[in-house]
Structure 1
Amino acid sequence: MSQQVGEDAVRSDYGIRRFRPEDVDAFLALHRETFGTDHDREWFAWKYEENPYVYHVPIFVAERAGELVGARPFFALELSVNGGRHLALQPCDTMVHPDHRQRGLSARLNEAAIEKYRDRDVSFLFDFPDERTAADHLQRGWKRVADQPTYYRVQNPAGLQNVSSTWASLGVRALTPLLEGYNRLSTGRLSAPEAVTVERHDAVPAATLAGIEYDRRKKGIHIHRDLRFYDWRFRNPARDHAAYVARRDGEPIAGVVVATSADGAVATLTDVTPLPDGDDRGGLEALLDRVVREYADADVVAAPPVLPDDLASRASFHRDDRWPLSAVATRTAHLVRELSGGWRVDGLDVTDADNWQLTFAERRTN
């Protein structure tokens, strides 16, 4: 009984509520304390206030004595599910001040969010967490879709450790001669069609990329790539993005968006349009040929698993769920959480990996 009274007293010390406009500075300060970042109001405005898919700031906060000590934000995206539009939320930037951890605040923030969004306009939650967070999610009603592989074109094996601290340095050193030899043999195997030209844009041409996807609607679950998406998604002030557009006879037929790390060591093919299928892939091949040449000085070029295996292989990309990278890689889990009482949305099972077509644009970190 006394233990329960003590726990109830601790809970009563903390309030859980929706975010308010006056919380911005305290949120950014807690973000710096938790993640060591230096994001400013411009970044906050882009990620949360200017998000075009919600009419509120999707953040829940924990406070004690008027001090903001925890937060559970969400990254809102509009997904296409069998052609229908659905709002989905991805947890991100979750944080609790070190002095207030181990008091159940993360669980209470999650409960408040689930209660708020259940049976509302949000169709489901999805996430790409680390192993510890994934285990917590699974205990709280989430389901695993699959582990999400990543393609890596390793141009400087030592640079793999810039991608993630989970890469084992000993394993990277052992892989160095193998990867260097493979790259020497495979570089140049791409053959861009002569009729296709590629142009680079320092700012993402939203209307052009949205027009490419417009005539190529796909079944399954993926981002709804319209003008609203492209106009907002890649204005992240914390990342540098460039876009490449492939044209045939002057008409745009494919595009990719590339994000680079601050030091230029890692280049990431964040988005690909149209999503590849068995149709004409000349535009995508021309784009990959341009990208691997233009980012030849990067240590690593990363690409999403939607790339066709044969095309990725010719461009010297290795999947991290296959040897040799599987020996040193830790893959990313893909989890979902239903909100409306079922795991099927517009006839599709959201827990079936075959129904998803993912790039990196779905992830809040790119």
Structure 2
Amino acid sequence: MTTLSRSLKTSCWNEFAATFTFATSAARDGILKMQNERWTDHDLGSFVKYERINNMAAFTGSDTSPSVRLGAAVATPVIKLSHHLQEHFFTVDPTIRVDRYEFVPVSTLSSLYAQAPPAGAHIRRDDDFYRWRFMEPGQEFITYVASREETPLAAIVVGTKRSPDTPSTATLVEVLPSTGETALDGAFSSLLSHITSDFATYDHLCATGGALSHQLLSTYGFTRSDIFPLSKFTHSAYLLVCPLGRLASDSAAIERLTHEAGWATTLCVRSLG
């Protein structure tokens, strides 16, 4: 990881403003020790993910202790009952319509981004970006769009993964707009209501905060993965940002870029899938 990071910074130094990396704890430590007179990596903290677990037993295997396997087996029906009771009390705005697409409507996503781009540092979205991002072979993406009076308000792209050897996963890959404004909670609530219902048979759903508030995610059964008990089954990723040559003399830009609160990102730019 450190060799790759060094090579990336060297080759991109003159052409780009910065690199950003999502690293494990061990990789983060190695990268942060690699500072030199040209570049400095800034640790912006953990990239917080949220999980809605539908089947806890799917996360245990033969290498898991019998007590943990038993606990997971007992917890699964309790979790499903909890989700069912939560869904019984969901209230959604009847004026909002949710449409499901078995593909990614690129122009709709780029339009939602252009109407309200995040104020903080982020990867710019446009048609070309979305065409590249969602052309991943072997991966299926489903898009949910919330509208009022034929006007799109918000959208969520869900990537799905099923494998005999791993828990089945539905990932909320992209969330738009990603400004985190609570005024859109009604639209996002309608979207989450459909998504959690459509993917109830999946072992878990994965999301990230920022665009979706902690309160809204909690309402729909999502829990931070870095807090017990999920922290026992997951590993944290850390966001590292390194200004490059094009920003070398722009101290104000570097300060904005390396300010943790200034970053706005989703799973769309963390990894494929």
Whether TM exceeds 0.5 here: the answer is yes
Structure 1 residue 286: Cα displacement: 0.8
Structure 1 residue 364: Cα displacement: 2.5
Aligned to 2:235: 330
Question: Distance between the aligned counterparts of 1:344 and 1:355, measured in 2?
Answer: 15
Q: 1:365 is aligned with what amino acid?
A: L
Q: 2:194 is aligned with what amino acid?
A: R
Residue 141 of structure 2 aligns to a residue in which SS?
strand
**2:9 aligned with 1:114:** yes
Tell me which of 292, 302, 309 is aligned to 2:196: 292
Aligned to 1:68: none
Question: Distance between the aligned counterparts of 2:111 and 2:182, measured in 1?
Answer: 20
Q: From the superposition, tell whether residues 158 and 284 of structure 1 become closer, same or farther in structure 2 (CA, over 3 Å).
A: same
Q: From the superposition, tell whether residues 172 and 318 of structure 1 become closer, same or farther in structure 2 (CA, over 3 Å).
A: farther
Question: Distance between the aligned counterparts of 1:170 and 1:330, measured in 2?
Answer: 21
Structure 1 residue 240: Cα displacement: 1.1
Residues 248-283 of structure 1 show CA distances to partners (whole Å, capped at 9, x for unaligned) of: 101111101100113381000000000131323221
Question: Distance between the aligned counterparts of 1:343 and 1:321, measured in 2?
Answer: 35
Residue 210 of structure 1 aligns to a residue in which SS?
helix
Aligned to 1:351: 258
Counterparts in 2 of 1:1-366, with a 5 A limit?
Answer: 107=3, 110-118=5-13, 120-141=14-35, 142-160=41-59, 171=68, 174=71, 177=75, 179-180=79-80, 182-263=82-163, 265-275=168-178, 276-306=180-210, 307-340=212-245, 341=248, 346=253, 348-366=255-273
Question: Distance between the aligned counterparts of 2:69 and 2:177, measured in 1?
Answer: 34
Higher helix proportion (structure 1 or 2): 2
Structure 1 residue 169: Cα displacement: 8.4
Structure 1 residue 217: Cα displacement: 2.3
Aligned to 1:41: none
Question: Distance between the aligned counterparts of 2:30 and 2:146, measured in 1?
Answer: 43
In the alignment, structure 1 segments of 5+ residues that lack a partner are 1-93, 95-105
Residue 221 of structure 1 aligns to a residue in which SS?
coil
Report 1 or 2 for greater relative contact order, CA contacts < 8 Å, sequence distance ≥ 6. 2
Question: Distance between the aligned counterparts of 1:184 and 1:160, measured in 2?
Answer: 21
Aligned to 1:102: none
Residue 303 of structure 1 aligns to a residue in which SS?
strand
Structure 1 residue 185: Cα displacement: 3.6
Q: 1:277 is aligned with what amino acid?
A: E
Report which of the two structures shows the higher radius of gyration computed on alpha carbons: 1
Structure 1 residue 173: Cα displacement: 5.0
Question: Distance between the aligned counterparts of 1:169 and 1:124, measured in 2?
Answer: 47
Structure-2-length-normalised TM-score? 0.83
Q: 1:235 is aligned with what amino acid?
A: M
Residues 196-246 of structure 1 show CA distances to partners (whole Å, capped at 9, x for unaligned) of: 111111110000111122111221012212222222211111321111111
Residue 334 of structure 1 aligns to a residue in which SS?
strand
Question: Distance between the aligned counterparts of 1:356 and 1:172, measured in 2?
Answer: 38
Q: 2:8 is aligned with what amino acid?
A: A
Q: From the superposition, tell whether residues 231 and 110 of structure 1 become closer, same or farther in structure 2 (CA, over 3 Å).
A: closer
